[in-house]
């Protein structure tokens, strides 16, 4: 029993040492990794935020987007963004409070930036990242048009995308625990 107690004390001392090491302002130089260059960071830094951070310059029209959609997207998402084997993208507005909610870009997605980010990072499924910036703007313009958010013939670019207020923009209630994040660092 005495031996066990000693072991426990040692373990506690070790964990105290480790945590104080981890909390120290200047961690030891572990001699691993290397500095990332600004140039290579640019290759991977694809995320886009609602405030426009990360959203590149570019533009595309609804009509161009229809061509892009019918080439790369229609096989999974269906003609006009409905009835495909994968996620429905169009319609469903007004259904969220019913027994059969239909969540689509038009009815549910709160930010136009999220749509740009997701199309650009993940679509088309078989070749993610394949669409150019302009094609991404175009196909987003087409999807917003199908959902009644952009008029026929519209052009979408960085400035106009940031002005879009999606129909369900105010439809989200954040969990109170993470509204104001703090830590003791």
- Per CB under 8 A, the segment of 55-63, 75-83, 119-127, 145-153 that binds other proteins is 119-127
Using CB under 8 A as the binding rule, whether residue 160 contacts other proteins is answered as no
Site string for other proteins, 16-55 (x = CB under 8 A): --x---xxxx-x--x-xxxxx---xx--xxxxxxxx----
70 close to 64: Cβ distance less than 8 angstroms: no
Q: Give whole-number Cα distances, 45 to 33, 42, 111, in Å.
A: 19, 5, 19
68 close to 124: Cβ distance less than 8 angstroms: no
> Three-state DSSP class for 107?
coil
User: Binding residue for other proteins (CB under 8 A) from 80, 114, 155, 160?
Assistant: 114
User: Binding residue for other proteins (CB under 8 A) from 3, 4, 20, 185?
Assistant: 185
Using CB under 8 A as the binding rule, whether residue 96 contacts other proteins is answered as yes
Running DSSP on this structure, what letter comes out for residue 37?
A: P
141 close to 62: Cβ distance less than 8 angstroms: yes
At its nearest, how many Å lie between other proteins and the CB of residue 32? 4
Using CB under 8 A as the binding rule, whether residue 59 contacts other proteins is answered as no
Using CB under 8 A as the binding rule, whether residue 151 contacts other proteins is answered as no
SS (H, E, C) 42-86: HHHCCCCCCCCCCCCCCEEEHHHHHHHHHHHCHHHHCHHHCCCCC
CB closer to other proteins out of 113 and 145: 113
Q: What angle do CA 34, 37, 39 make, to 5 degrees?
A: 150
Q: What is the Cα–Cα distance from 89 to 95, expressed in whole angstroms? A: 14
At its nearest, how many Å lie between other proteins and the CB of residue 153? 27
CB closer to other proteins out of 126 and 151: 126
Which residues lie near other proteins (CB under 8 A)? 18, 22-25, 27, 30, 32-36, 40-41, 44-51, 96-97, 99, 101, 103, 108-111, 113-115, 117-118, 121-122, 125, 128, 171-175, 177-178, 181-185
């Amino acid at each position: 029993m005495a031996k066990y107690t000693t072991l426990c004390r040692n373990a506690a001392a070790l964990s105290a040492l480790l945590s104080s090491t981890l909390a120290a302002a200047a961690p030891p130089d572990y001699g691993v990794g290397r500095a990332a260059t600004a140039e290579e960071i640019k290759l991977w830094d694809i995320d886009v935020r609602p405030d426009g951070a990360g959203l590149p310059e570019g533009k595309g029209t609804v009509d161009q987007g229809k061509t892009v959609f019918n080439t790369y997207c229609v096989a999974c998402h269906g003609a006009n963004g409905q009835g495909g084997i994968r996620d429905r993208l169009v319609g469903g507005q007004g259904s969220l409070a019913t027994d059969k909610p239909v969540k689509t870009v038009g009815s549910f997605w709160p930010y136009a930036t999220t749509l740009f980010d997701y199309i650009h990072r993940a679509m088309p499924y078989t070749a993610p990242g394949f669409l150019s910036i302009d094609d991404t703007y175009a196909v987003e313009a087409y999807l917003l048009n199908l959902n009644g958010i952009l008029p026929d013939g519209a052009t979408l670019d960085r400035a106009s995308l940031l002005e879009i207020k999606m129909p369900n923009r105010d439809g989200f209630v954040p969990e109170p625990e993470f509204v104001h994040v703090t830590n003791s660092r």
